[in-house]
Amino acid sequence: MSNFVSIIMPCYNAENTISNSINGILSQTYKYFELIIIDDCSIDNSINIINKYRSIDTRIKIFSTETNSGSPSIPRNLGIEKAIGRFIAFCDSDDIWLPSKLEEQIPLFDDNISIVFSNYEKTDTLLNRNKRYIIAPKYATYNSLLNGNYIGNLTGIYDTEKVGRVYQQHIYHEDYVMWLEILKKGYIAKNTNTITAL
C-alpha cells in the first residue's frame, strides 16, 4: 500500500502509560497503518497489556529485544527493520497522538518534503493539559535544523520512498541526528502547524 504507515513504539516497564499511547494510535482517523511495539525486556505488566490490544486489533505487532538495551534507539531500530510501511513514524509508550495526526500529515508529502512534523503540547504526569504548547517553525532544512532540533520525535514522520530506511544512532539526541541525516539528502521538512500529540 503506497501510503501505509509503520508506527514504531519502544516499550520498557510502561504499564502505567502504554494503554493511553496505544489508544491514541487506534483512534487515528487515518486507518492505513501498523503499530510495531518493541518491548525492551519489561519486567512489569506491559506485555500482558499489549497482548490484550493485539488480540483485538491485528494491526498491532510485538517484538522483543534479546536483552534490555537501556536505550530508545535500539528498540526503534528493530522496529524500523520490521516495518513494511512507506512512512515511518514514532510514538513512545508515554506519548499520546491526537486522532487526526496522520490524516493531517500524510497529504503534505510532495516531491520536496521528506519529513512532516507538528507542534505538540506538554502535559503533567497525570496527563492534564495546561496549554503548554511547543510551537516549531513552518519548515526545516538541514541548515536551519543545525541551529537546534525542533522536530519532536513524537510528531515526526519520514518517507522511505525518498530517503530509504534511516536508523537512529546509539547516542544522545538520537532523533535529532536522524532528522539531520534525512534532511542532508536535500529535502525539506514541513510542519502541519497544528497540535497533533501530547
What are the pLDDT digits (tens) for 166-178?
999 988 899 999 9
Share of the chain above pLDDT 90, in %: 92
Distance CA 70, CA 47 (A): 17
Q: Exposed/middle/buried for 5, CB within 10 Å: 0-12, 13-18, 19+?
A: buried
Reported confidence tier of residue 126, pLDDT bands at 50, 70, 90: confident
Beta-carbon contacts of 90 under 8 Å, excluding residues fewer than 6 positions away, are 7, 8, 9, 76, 153, 154, 156, 157, 175
Distance CA 106, CA 122 (A): 23
| Region 31-46 average pLDDT | 98
| Region 122-145 average pLDDT | 91
Distance CA 198, CA 4 (A): 23
Res. 120: pLDDT tops 90: yes
Distance CA 191, CA 38 (A): 27
Res. 125: pLDDT tops 90: no
Instruction: Tell me the average pLDDT of the chain.
Output: 96
Distance CA 9, CA 53 (A): 14
| Region 75-96 average pLDDT | 98
Reported confidence tier of residue 129, pLDDT bands at 50, 70, 90: confident
pLDDT given at position 60: 98
